[in-house]
């Protein structure tokens, strides 16, 4: 089994390493990812790296420009709005489905509570990167409970891209202030209180967006305004 699963797991590991690095913001948006460079780091040929980059591209966290190479994606504001909009739609629908079966989910919910603990811990030691990743993983693990693979996979892509959006547009340095919204959400789910779960999820997503500055930040620089007072000749 060691040799048998080697190929698949090796691929998976490399994928996860890059994926996590992006989600933990150790790779900033816009960073160039050269095939040979990554290949050397992981000790494989460009073939493998190429497949991995292709997968990351399909998930939206890497942008692949023909003949130019791969870069960590830099979602613009319009794209960010679409992603967050999609995410709201999917997560509300999933939470609705999950809350309906909430009381039967004791076992699965305790696993989720462990994840929350880890999240608190990393947040406490100011490990922002890990905290962001774990926060995303919470949403994904929760999504698994809805038993809809296509939706869960899609959400995975959306959550990853949300991490990039946070990296690019977070305004206040205050990290996840809403530190136990996850807990409260689980409580509502566990009690099968659909209405409460839905509004908590909606609020939670609101808070995430509230921490962003989704205003046109890179507006066209008006050189006149910047240098006008330096006019030397007239």
Partner DNA sequence: CGACGGAAGATTGTATACAATCCTAAAACA
Partner DNA sequence: TGTTTTAGGATTGTATACAATCTTCCGTCG
Residue 228 binds which one of a copy of itself, DNA, none, with CB within 5 to 8 A depending on kind? none
Cα–Cα distance, 73 to 230 (Å, whole number): 37
Cα–Cα distance, 198 to 94 (Å, whole number): 10
Cα–Cα distance, 203 to 39 (Å, whole number): 42
Site track for DNA across 174-203, x = CB under 7 A: ------------------------------
**Which 3 state secondary structure label does DSSP give 187?**
helix
* Minimum CB distance to DNA, residue 13 (Å): 11
Residue 58 binds which one of a copy of itself, DNA, none, with CB within 5 to 8 A depending on kind? a copy of itself
What are phi and psi for residue 25, nearest 5 degrees?
65, 25
How distant, in Å, are the alpha carbons of 29, 173, 177, 220 from that of 123? 22, 13, 10, 37
Q: Interaction with DNA in 52-111: which residues (CB under 7 A)?
A: 66-70
* Minimum CB distance to DNA, residue 67 (Å): 4
Cα–Cα distance, 156 to 141 (Å, whole number): 10
Residues in contact with a copy of itself by the rule CB under 8 A: 7-8, 51, 54-55, 58, 60, 66-67, 79, 82-83, 85-86, 89-90, 93, 147-151, 154, 157-158, 161
**Which residues of the shown chain bind DNA in the complex (CB under 7 A)?**
3-4, 6-7, 10-11, 32-36, 44-48, 50, 66-70
């Amino acid at each position: 089994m060691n040799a048998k699963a080697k190929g698949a797991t090796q691929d998976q590991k490399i994928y996860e390493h890059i994926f996590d690095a992006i989600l933990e913001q150790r790779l900033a948006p816009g960073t160039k990812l050269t095939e040979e460079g990554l290949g050397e780091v992981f000790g494989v040929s460009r073939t493998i790296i190429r497949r991995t980059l292709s997968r990351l591209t399909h998930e939206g966290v890497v942008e692949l420009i023909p003949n130019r190479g791969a870069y960590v994606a830099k979602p613009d504001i319009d794209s960010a709005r679409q992603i967050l909009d999609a995410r709201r739609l999917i997560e509300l629908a999933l939470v609705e489905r999950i809350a309906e079966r909430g009381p039967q989910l004791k076992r699965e919910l305790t696993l989720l509570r462990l994840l929350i603990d880890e999240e608190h811990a990393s947040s406490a030691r100011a490990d922002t990167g890990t905290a962001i990743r774990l926060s995303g993983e919470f949403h994904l693990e929760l999504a698994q409970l809805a038993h809809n693979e296509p939706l869960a996979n899609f959400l995975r892509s959306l959550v990853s891209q949300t991490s990039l959006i946070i990296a690019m547009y977070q305004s206040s340095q205050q990290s996840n202030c809403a530190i136990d919204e996850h807990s409260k959400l689980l409580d509502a789910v566990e009690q099968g209180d659909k209405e409460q779960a839905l509004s908590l999820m909606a609020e939670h997503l609101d808070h995430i967006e509230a921490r962003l500055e989704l205003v046109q930040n890179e507006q066209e620089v008006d050189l006149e305004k910047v240098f006008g007072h330096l006019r030397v000749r007239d």
